[in-house]
Amino acid sequence: MDRPGPRYTSYPTADRFVEAWGPADYAQSLAARAQGVLSAGATAPLSIYVHLPFCESVCYYCACNKIITRHHDRAAPYLAALEQEIALHVGVLGRGQPVSQLHFGGGSPTFLSDEELGRLMGTLRSAFTLLPHAEVAIEVDPRTVDAARLRRLASLGFNRISFGVQDLDPEVQRAVHRVQDEAMIAGLMREARALGFRSTNVDLIYGLPKQTVDSVRHTVEAVAALRPDRVALYAYAHLPQRFKPQRRIDEQALPDGEARVRMLAAAIEAFLDAGYEYIGMDHFALPNDALAVAKRQGRLHRNFQGYSTQPESDLIGLGVSAIGGMGASYSQNAKTLPEYYDALRQGQFPVARGLSLTRDDVLRRAVIMALMCQGRVDFEAFALAHLVELPHYFAAELARLAPLAEAGLVCVDASGIELTPLGWYLVRAVAMVFDRHARADERRAHFSRII
């Protein structure tokens, strides 16, 4: 299983978007929503993702679209561009569309000053209607905030916060150019809880240079002792041909496949021993967290931000490189600031590429997301929802599941497909069986490794 594979925050995956799909197509998909043509209807709540790309320093492992700069004055023209992009959406959708989920990602959103974040939140609240129980989340670089900044974030309406920790070992931190004090992180976690944030999340990475099984176990145990509501434990994806900062990583210091498996096993064991529940690919949560409850009740969903309790909804992506989904289509904004700014100067949506889903795409997406979120595909329910007999339509795929069944990852019978407890940890490998594009593309090097 030690091979590349998609993370399936969408299907088809973003590498399948095409440049022939552009601003006019996106405007048409927005208009269809405004007219109630989409299945979700014009009044169904939206999700919004805002990409804030700036960081003061580079982390060598990072694969995000980011701009490294210490010039904070670069935020002002970016905010002006975001306001233009928001205005374009209001021009098609109308003002006051309901929003149930708002997420600020990056980069480091906290690169912006408190005043700039307040200005952006004011623009969004003026254009859309944030529902009373909306999830309002922000990703935070712990090195850019203190207790006072956390209080300000809470006052702006953020109720979910995600701390980028990655690893607590000083030697590993130096190897990836992200040095941050463990005591500082613990203090911020305590402050966030005292301020009443509805959910705290910690991001960790295994497979980094200089990591050992023991160091990963120490990091996991220390983080679990802080009791974040959720933890995302990602496998490091070393793709230096795509992400220039990763070329600074000493490949000789990277753990091999066997060591990575042992790290993952140690982390899983430590989180489960600490009372966390395994949600799905890379994610853990405390039993009373909304994600854990949603999984137990079969209400787990997945979108471009990962696992979610939110039902499938239209997603607006704002900012450079941001990805969105509207109806049966996906879109992605221009990946560079000059291209992004230029499109907005011309009064166009800054969409650089996208995709309209075919009927086959929709069917495959339904199977893959059911596996990723519920761990099961029920044949009868699938037929009722899609008017397609899955065993007939996907006969070839069911045959390709046989080796995975023999490996103990999945069970297939007359009623459906179900992941085994082991299969949950390697769900990407099972989902790939139904990915027509991944099968056709033998290069696959642009994906992270499954383990």
**Residue 377, token pair as written in the block:** 């595909």
- The residue among 152, 222, 229, 214 whose CA lies nearest residue 185 is 222
C-alpha–C-alpha distance, residues 144 and 195, integer Å: 18
CB 66 within 8 A of CB 109: no
Give the separation between CA 7 and CA 295, rounded to whole angstroms.
18
The annotation places the binding site at 49, 55, 59, 61-63, 106, 139, 166, 178, 203, 237, 323
Residue list, annotated binding site for [4Fe-4S] cluster: 55, 59, 62
Spatial neighbors of 394 by CB under 8 A, at least 6 apart, are: 367, 434
Angle between helices 213-226 and 257-273 (to 10 degrees): 30
For the chain, the straight-line distance linking the first and the last C-alpha, in angstroms and rounded, comes to: 7
Distance CA 256, CA 11 (A): 29
- Decide if 289 contacts 230 (C-beta within 8 A): yes
What DSSP element (H or E) covers 120? helix 114-127
78: left (phi over 0), alpha (psi -120 to 50) or beta: alpha
Structure tokens at 114: 């408190």
Under DSSP, the state recorded for 179 is -
Residue 177 is encoded by which pair of tokens?
């150019």
φ/ψ of residue 133, rounded to 5: -105, 25
Report residue 405 as tokens: 């069944």
175 dihedral zone (left: phi>0; alpha: psi -120 to 50; beta): alpha
Measured CA to CA in angstroms, residue 19 lies from 81, 88, 169, 333 at distances of 22, 21, 42, 11
Q: Cα separation of 451 and 440, whole Å?
A: 22
What backbone phi and psi angles, to 5 degrees, belong to 123? Answer: -65, -45
Bind-site residues for S-adenosyl-L-methionine = 49, 61-63, 106, 139, 166, 178, 203, 237, 323
Tokens of 333: 């904004």
Nearest to 126 by CA among 161, 101, 90: 90
Q: In Å, how far from its chain's centre is CA 179?
A: 24
Taking Cα atoms as reference points, which of 347, 337, 382 lies closest to residue 363?
382
